[in-house]
Structure formats: structure tokens, C-alpha cells
Amino acid sequence: MNIRINRSSQTPIYLQIKCAIQNLILSGELSPGYKMPAERKLAGELDIHRNTVIKAYGELVDEGYLIVSSKRPKGYFVKEIADDGVPFKRFFPLEKMIRYHFTDKEKLFLDIFSRSEREECISMGGIIMDDAAYPREGVEKILQNMSREPRNEAERMKKNICSVLFQENMYVSPKNIQLVAETNQALSHIMTLYLEEGDYVIAEEPVVPDNASIFRNKGINLVTVPMEPDGMDLAKLETAIRKYAPKFIYTMPNYHNPTGIVMSLEKRKKLLELAGRYCIPIIEEDSQRDFRYEGNRLPSLYAQDRYRSVIYIDSFTLTFPYGIKTGYIVGPTDLIETLERLIVVDETFVSSLGQYILNEYIERGYYQTHIGHLVKHYAHKRDLLCRCLDGIADKGITYTKPRGGLLLWCDLEERINERRLYHEAESRGLLIMPGFLFYPKGYEGGGHVRLCFSNISDADIERGVQILSEALEHSVE
């Protein structure tokens, strides 16, 4: 059985074994009824303690991948995955109060994000926008020439969002839009509206920890599907659909966070077909859409949807970061009408003044010009970071250059201990985001690191990579 163990990984060995076997089952390499190696035999092959195998097998039994037989033939066997007849429940809104808490991974992720806003070190940790990239042209003029008191800016904002989306070949009306503060809030409201505790949602892995915490703290089971170079692994997605009967598929097809992957046009079409076949709605987050540095802009899932099954969420937080938090949900009118009743206006809408400024900025034509400035600014940052990383490729770190977005997802050789790398870099004054934070249940193989270039000077990019090079040398197992 082809199972590789990385003894330098932050993922416990039993979870590495579990993930490997799970992937072999989902890919069809281990078919239903297959008899797994005995605990002692597999432990001997992998040179590990038998109890480690017992723990891995136990979790696979608990999650429905294996069954265990105490009668002849005794042992562990691959379980039959549910067929196409899995019943899908109707969606019912649910009001519930829960005690919100964070895992250790989520706490570290939020701590790194929070520290990224300070000037105590060079930060490639959180996605924090650069002051130099803030919109300048027109803002002062708008403030100096406020001709009226802002009124009914929410409806005006919806019309301007329609205008912005029109440029993306998305034809919507204000009645299809619900305003929220940001995409995380949009995701939380959708979960509250449609899902009950114990339901399943499928998302791409690696997944941003604060999104994973939204699902977990609402009692929702998160099932992850690995990424391929052109997007989600659709074969494994279909297997997971048949097994778990999820209520939603959550995806970031443009410049996925953290990998930066862009889903191919062919795969977008197949994903829509798959969702239509199994009657599963898709939540499409597009929060890094405007940061496209090369390649053609691909149509959104929402624009291609024939089944009225895609809910589209986005925000202006990264493109107009003046503390004016304005995000939005686009969907069928019945969804939007229900969301309006669910959402408390005071906690959702930004101030009328903030919306007034953003509305004026869009209507006066400044917004599209500003997007062009953003693309030029951050394309330069990306290229500089890539050139610097190329200079230390022999230290055990590689990457695939993203076509857009605000981050690089780097692969580490198996000899590199990524937790030690994080601490070594931190001790030298560089803040990075270790990759194990993005895998709720662990992973196989070598580690990863996410490097953001959203709020860092050219000089700090060069100095930061020098520090990273030193940290890599001291992180070898």
C-alpha cells in the first residue's frame, strides 16, 4: 500500500495514515470490500507502533470509510460508499445559540493576522492592505463637495454593485442583492439560514481557518476535497457528494486562498453540471477577483449557472479599504428576501456616509481607474517576491507563480519542519503563515507556507526572503 510518512510534518502520523487511506478510497484505488492490511503488518511496513495504525483505522471506521469484522473473515474492510439514491433533505432555517470557540490552529491564524497590522516585524502573514494602494484620486474631492446628506445609500449601493458586476458579464438587479459587512458574515448568514447542526458542507482544501471555524461553530461538518493545478478535484468531489449528501459546495474559483489556483473554464462547467445533477447549491466567493495580473478573465460560476443554484459573495474590503466594510450576496430573489428578514440592519450595514463615499467613487468613474492602479502595484510586488524566492530555491522551498491574488503558496521539502520554520522566521523578525493551519484534519507529504505581499515594501520583501532563507537552514529535521 502506497503510504508515505513525513516524520517532519506537523500532522500526527496517525492522521497522515488516515488521510492517505481516505484518499486511496475516494480515488477508487481501494475498492469496496478490500481487506486492509492487519494492524501489525501495516505498522511493520511503515516502521511505526501498532497503536498508531489502530488509531488511524479507528477514525476511518468512525467516519464511515472502513468497517471492522470480528467474525471470519476478520479485519478491516473498505466500506461501500452511498449510491446516487442518497436522500437530500429540504432546507429549513434554524435559529440556534452556540458557545463560539476556536481550535489551536484557528487561534494561531488569528494571532498572526492581528500581528500583521502592527509594525513590530516584517509581515508576510495576514492579508492587510498597503496604505500606498489606497484610492487617492477623487476621494478628497468627494469629501469636500458633499452636496447633500446621505440618504437611502443602501439601495443606491445595490444599483452600483449591479453596474460593477455588469463589467463581469453578470446581469443582476438590485432585488438579487443583499448587503453585508464582509464575505465571512455572508457565509455565516447563509449557514444560519439553510443548515441544521450535523449537516455537511464541502470545501476545497487547504481552507482558510476562519472559514473552517464558521462551519464548525455552527455544528456543521466540513468535508474537504483536495485541489489540483486547475481547481478542485472533481472526481473526489463526486465521491464525497455521494458519501455525505452535502447541503452546499463552497469554492473560491479565482485566486483561491491560500493556493492562488484559478479554476479552469472546463472545470467550472463540470462543477456546475455536477452540482445540478445532485441538486446541491454552490457558494462562490470572489474576494480576490480584481487582482488579476495576467491571463484572460474567466466567467464566474454565477454567470454560467443554468440551474439558479449559485450564491455569489464578494466585498469591497480589499479594493476600497477605508474601514468602509461593504460586502454583498447575490442570489435568487427568494433567498435575498429571506436574508433581509434574517439580518439585523444595524449590525450589517455600514454607515450611510461610508456608502455615500463609495457610491460617489463608483459613479464618478474613479473606481475602475483605481482597480488598474491596484493591479499594477501588486503585480510588481508579486514579481519581486518570486524573483527573490527563485534565489533561495536550493533551500527547500518552491512555488507556482499565481496569475493573480495577494499571496504565494509555497511547498516545502519533507526535510523542512514547517512549525520550526515559523518560529525561526519569527525570532528573526519575519511573520509568515505556516501551511498546517489550512488543513483542519492534517495532510500527507511535505509542508507549506503562505506568503502575503499585500502590505510590504520592496525593501522588506528582499529582507524578508533573506530572513526566510536563514530560517530554512535552521528548520531541517
Q: Of 368, 393, 424, which marks where a domain is finished?
A: 368
CATH (domain of 238): 3.40.640.10
Q: Are residues 49 and 161 located together in one domain of the fold?
A: no
| pLDDT score recorded for residue 148 | 60
Q: Which long-range contacts (CB under 8 A, 24 or more apart) does 115-119 make?
A: 115/431, 116/431, 116/452, 116/455
Question: Which one, of 111, 134, 456, 105, lies nearest residue 316 by Cα?
Answer: 134
Is residue 157 domain-resident? Answer: yes
Q: Are 145 and 73 part of one and the same domain?
A: no
The confidence score (pLDDT) of residue 346 equals 39
What is the structure's pLDDT at 17?
92
Considering the domain architecture, whether residues 320 and 239 belong to the same structural domain is answered as yes
Residues 208 and 343 in one domain: yes
* Within a domain: 415: no
Helix axes 352-363, 153-166, angle to 10 degrees: 40
Please tell me the pTM assigned to this model.
0.83
| 3-state DSSP assignment of residue 98 | coil
Same domain as 161, residue 66: no
Quote the distance between the C-alpha of residue 26 and its chain's center: 21
pLDDT at residue number 389: 97
Residue with cell 455536477: 274
Domain hosting 35: range is 13-78
Q: Of 316, 327, 325, 365, which Cα lies nearest the Cα of 177?
A: 327
Query: Which CB contacts under 8 angstroms, 24+ apart, belong to 263-267?
Result: 263/230, 263/231, 263/232, 263/298, 264/230, 264/231, 264/298, 265/298, 265/299, 266/230, 267/230, 267/231, 267/232, 267/234
Domain count, the chain: 2
For CA atoms 20, 21, 25, 29, the dihedral sign is positive
β-pair partners for 221: 200
Using the 3D structure, point to which of 38, 63, 78 is the last residue of a domain. Answer: 78
Q: Is residue 8 situated within a structural domain?
A: no
Residues 174, 279: one domain?
yes
DSSP string, 224-280: EEEEETTEE-HHHHHHHHHHH--SEEEE--SS-TTT-----HHHHHHHHHHHHHHT-
CATH code of the domain in which 27 resides: 1.10.10.10
Same domain, 352 and 217: yes
Q: Is residue 310 part of a domain?
A: yes
Residue 418's nearest CA partner among 392, 438, 401 is 438
Residues 142 and 287 grouped into a single domain? yes
pLDDT (0 to 100) of residue 102: 66
Q: Which of 303, 334, 368 is the last residue before a domain boundary?
A: 368
One-letter amino acid at 113 equals F
Task: Give 314's contacts (C-beta < 8 A, 6+ positions apart).
Answer: 183, 285, 286, 287, 289, 327, 328, 330
91 within some domain:
no
**By the 8 A CB rule, do 164 and 367 touch?**
yes
Hey, what amino acid is at 88?
Answer: F
Which residue positions in the chain have pLDDT lower than 70?
81-102, 146-151, 322-323, 344-351
Domain co-membership, 74 together with 164: no
